[in-house]
Amino acid sequence: MQRFFLLLICMKHALIVGLGLAGLTYAEQLNRKGLSFHIIDSGSGGSSQIAAGIYNPTVLKRFSLSWNGEVFHSYALPFYKKLEERLSTDFIHPAPIHKIFNKDAEHNLWSSAADKKSLAPFLDPKIYSNREDEVNGNSGYGIVKHTGRVATDVLLKSFKDSLHKDDLSLEVFDYDKLDTTSTGIKYKSIKAKHIVFCQGYQMVNNPLFNKLPLVGSKGEILIIKAPNLKTKVILKGPIFIAPIGDDFYWAGATFERKDKTLVCTKAGKTWLEERILKMISSEFEVIEHITQIRPTVQDRRPLIGTHPNLPNVHLFNGLGSRGVLGAPLMSKWLFDYIEGRSDLPEEVNLRRFESYLRQSL
């Protein structure tokens, strides 16, 4: 009887592998329901660690709304606000985006986009002329509203610090040590009802899911110091330049599909520097050059759901290049699905690639 009781105490509701935005938002869903979890993370960082964390429900290349942009936006902001309060840490930094126009011909496109019902809450219809000495561009700019930055590095650190030491293991997950049954899973000494893999691009090494078409897109970024720039808004030209405090700015990013190494390249740095020079006239110094791989999917939709043959093994991946806005609501979708409360939207359900998964069995 006593042994049974102890076993129940040690049984977690879920084991989560990976503490990036996917793992964090899923753990927070459990936390809000009072359910227990254990997280395993390699500690070597991922895409969330270096992201600018910009939340922007529009696509500024096409002057359109991003997939589910408004729905994700309206769930994500209150979600992060509540988390900010729970963790007593500021990590949401609202800031408009100034879309610097390339040519005057873009003005009409902007005005008609701002006229659309779906985009009107986000795009200010006015065309502004550039008055800031340090920002280049003769064709002016447009303002995107209700945007900003979630300082993902700060969020991750503060979430990690808030965990009880028994709820987090810093190690690389060993797939050979995983046992699955019809009622739960066992990994080393940890027993749980479910396991949720939230590994970002490193999913390519997971034998249970590595047949899924996670293509990955490498992004290199620069952290620069530009004391004269003094802007508090996010600048969008050929790249984003976002203020991150004091005189430092996040500048990026490259988008590369072939090279999947975590090596910063000279070509990437040069490409970024050229674009920074195009956007600002103030002097800057490169402080850091970093890279990571975005978990992008062949059909540009996330990979969420349950392994077809293993009912307690789940996946939360494919957040692509817009994880900040999408992760909170998608973590709820996955939670509701696992708990049998509702089905997943078909376009994110990994069932669409079931034939790929069966190849690995």
Place of tokens 């759901």: 305
Total binding residues for ligand FAD by CB under 6 A? 42
Among 16, 46, 97, 234, binds ligand FAD (CB under 6 A): 46
Residue 283, CA distances (Å) to 9, 139, 199, 277, 279 in order = 59, 22, 38, 9, 11
Please report whether residue 92 would count as binding ligand FAD according to CB under 6 A. no
Ramachandran class of 63: left when φ > 0, alpha when ψ lies in -120 to 50, beta otherwise: left
Which is closer to ligand FAD, CB of 54 or CB of 127?
54
Shorter beta-carbon distance to ligand FAD: residue 52 or 127: 52
Spatial contact of 27 and 34, defined as CB atoms under 8 Å apart? no
Question: How many angstroms separate the CA atoms of 97 and 125, rounded?
Answer: 14
- 251 is a contact residue toward ligand FAD (CB under 6 A): no
17, 77, 151, 178: which one binds ligand FAD (CB under 6 A) = 17
Options 102-110, 112-120, 262-270, 322-330: segment touching ligand FAD (CB under 6 A): 322-330
- Best CA proximity match to 317, nearest among 188, 227, 210: 210
Q: Which is nearer to ligand FAD, 127 or 144 (CB)?
A: 144
Let me know: does 40 contact 16? Beta carbons within 8 Å: yes
Pick one of 16, 52, 241, 304: the residue that binds ligand FAD (CB under 6 A): 52
Q: Give 178's strand partners.
A: 187
127 or 293: CB nearest ligand FAD: 293
- Regarding 304 and contact with ligand FAD (CB under 6 A), the answer is no
Near ligand FAD in 273-292, by CB under 6 A: 292
Q: Does 302 bind ligand FAD (CB under 6 A)?
A: no
Site for ligand FAD in 170-229 (CB under 6 A): 172-173, 198-202, 219, 221
Find tokens 């994880």 and name the residue.
Answer: 323
Is 69 near ligand FAD (CB under 6 A)?
no
The whole-angstrom separation of Cα 202 and Cα 205 is 6
Q: Please say which residue, 58 or 317, places its beta carbon nearer to ligand FAD.
A: 317
Q: Give min distance, CB of 295 to ligand FAD, in A.
A: 5
Burial 50-83 (b: 16+ CB within 10 A, else e): bbbbbbbbbebeebebbbbbbebbebbbebbeeb
Nearest approach in angstroms of CB 11 to ligand FAD is: 21
319 lies in the site for ligand FAD, by CB under 6 A: yes
| The two three-digit tokens of residue 85, written as one number | 């309060």
Binding segment (CB under 6 A) for ligand FAD, from list 17-25, 82-90, 109-117, 258-266: 17-25
Interface pick for ligand FAD out of 98, 236, 322, 332 (rule CB under 6 A): 322
| Residue list 95-134, contact with ligand FAD (CB under 6 A) | none
Would you say 304 and 315 are in contact if contact means Cβ atoms under 8 Å apart? yes
Tokens at 107, concatenated: 């003005």
Among 57, 142, 320, 328, interactor with ligand FAD by CB under 6 A: 320
Decide: is 50 part of the binding site for ligand FAD (CB under 6 A).
yes
Q: Which of 29, 48, 147, 312 binds ligand FAD (CB under 6 A)?
A: 48
Told to check if 256 binds ligand FAD by CB under 6 A, we report no
Of the ranges 11-19, 117-125, 179-187, 260-268, which one interacts with ligand FAD (CB under 6 A)? 11-19
The binding site for ligand FAD (CB under 6 A) comprises: 17-23, 40-42, 44-48, 50-54, 172-173, 198-202, 219, 221, 252-253, 292, 294-295, 317, 319-325
